[in-house]
Amino acid sequence: MTELQEEEKKNTRPELLKILCILTFVGSGLALFSDIFMFFTIDIIKEYFNNGLLDFLSKDMDAEVLEIIFNVNPIYFIFQSILFALTIYGTYLMWNLKKIGFHLYTIGQIILLILPQVFIPSLPFPTFNLLISLIFIFLYAKNLQYLT
């Protein structure tokens, strides 16, 4: 194999990395959008709910969940937005085969697991989110050999 072919092989994005990045772009992108939306509209949603305009929510959602959502400090949504943006940026760097992206992604995911416990201590620990985060971090770590 020539030196050029070895360099091209080294700079090729593996399929698993592509899939992980696309899933992260979609998932974290939707969460980023959701958190930004919640930050700007939570007071309006609370007002509508208190005036009885969103009674259908209480039929579909547990009253405790609604109370938690309505009582959380809106800054929580900004912090989450920043962290989701960090994971998206880290994923973008990994898409471009930069190892620092893995570290940014991992830091963002760890803090995203801790943040709800700081702002909403009454919530149970997010075991499912922990499992998904660990799986993604593990699979991204398997691709570290392709990152520079």
19-52 pLDDT, tens per residue?
A: 999 999 999 999 999 999 999 998 888 887 777 7
Q: Is the dihedral of CA 100, 106, 112, 115 positive or negative?
A: negative
Would you state the pLDDT for residue 53?
Answer: 64
CB 21 within 8 A of CB 91: yes
pLDDT in tens, 119-129: 998 888 889 99
Q: What is the pLDDT of residues 98-108, one digit of tens each?
A: 999 999 999 99
Alpha helix (H) residue ranges in the chain: 3-10, 15-50, 55-60, 63-71, 75-95, 100-119, 127-142
In terms of residues, how long is the chain? 148
CA distance 114 to 99: 24
